[in-house]
Amino acid sequence: MFYDTSAFRRPLEGTRDDRFHAVVVLLPNEGKRLIAKGTQQIPEIQRVLRDGWLIVSRGITPSYLLEEITGEAGPKGNYTAGIITQGRLSGVHPDDQVGPWVLRDGKLVEVTAPEALGQMEAKDVSIKGANAVDPEGNIGVMAGDGAGGTVGGIWGTLTARGCHWISPVSLERLIPSVIDAHFASGNHLWDLTMGSAAGLMPVVTAKAVTEIQALEILTGVTAVHIASGGVAGSEGAVVLALEGDEKTVTEAFELCESVKGEPQIPDPRIVDAVRVPENAPKR
């Protein structure tokens, strides 16, 4: 489900023609920066930054959130395990992978993620990015590991204990149905792959935060996804319509302008750039 931003959105007054309108274009890395800023302001996260556990799993988008929280930048391309790069499914070299990260009361601590997970209570928060999000707010995470990777390791505890699972994910990753995509995939299913083998882990209990939720949390504007894509460096762009009173829309527009030019992420060192799955069925 999408994170509920109804408490943040300012009421739309008057008719459509009485309101103020703007259109913004966000490239993928700009969207990630905006999403990180909005996610940091979620009340559940603000609470555990004062008192509680916050686990930030590996992922490119979560790395932006970690940077917003700690103020420390790092090699974002290495802040993940699986990665889609050079037009193929791949993985960051194990020697170069960074994370996950554990914060206690807002401070990075030398506690492993599994240890922290075992101590988490219902108020505590886990951050996990996603490779897919659908119109219902369900997220999907690609997993090359046969046991489900990070999702397989955290789902039971977070779900059973009622912990908060927040997923920052860009609308560039919007697909029609995460559930349908799950049934069409599997890391032991493929006969041929462009890169590594990965299946899609569906998660319906996480709360997704996209560019829309981030803008609504940060400014109160009403945002609508109206287009996607581009060329010559604007591939993956997300186009949003903004609506509200003039002050709110202008604030949201200027916020989007402030993230323009977010640097591209350089290719990390990768492994398994091209391979057929070892357990692919023989025909």
Q: In the structure, what pLDDT confidence band is assigned to residue 81 with cuts at 50, 70 and 90?
A: confident
Nearest to 49 by CA among 70, 63, 64: 70
Q: Count Cβ atoms within 10 A of the Cβ of residue 67 and give its class: 0-12 exposed, 13-18 middle, 19 or more buried.
A: middle
pLDDT of residue 283: 41
pLDDT at 274 over 50: no
First to last CA, the chain: 39
Beta-carbon-side half-sphere exposure of residue 208 (alpha carbons within 13 Å): 26
| Alpha carbon distance 255, 273 (integer Å) | 37
Q: Count Cβ atoms within 10 A of the Cβ of residue 222 and give its class: 0-12 exposed, 13-18 middle, 19 or more buried.
A: buried
pTM: 0.93
pLDDT at 272 over 70: no
218 or 274, which is more confident?
218
Q: In the structure, what pLDDT confidence band is assigned to residue 278 with cuts at 50, 70 and 90?
A: low
Mean pLDDT value of segment 242-248 = 98
pLDDT of residue 275: 52
pLDDT of residue 155: 94
Beta-carbon-side half-sphere exposure of residue 112 (alpha carbons within 13 Å): 3
Mean pLDDT value of segment 67-94 = 90
pLDDT of residue 146: 86
Please report, rounded to a whole number, the percentage of residues in the chain having pLDDT higher than 70: 96
Average pLDDT of the residues of the chain: 94
Q: Count Cβ atoms within 10 A of the Cβ of residue 96 and give its class: 0-12 exposed, 13-18 middle, 19 or more buried.
A: middle
pLDDT of residue 219: 98
pLDDT of residue 127: 98
Model confidence pLDDT, tens digit, residues 196-224? 999 999 999 999 999 999 999 999 999 99
Cα dihedral 101, 106, 108, 114, rounded to 10, equals: -40
pLDDT of residue 169: 98
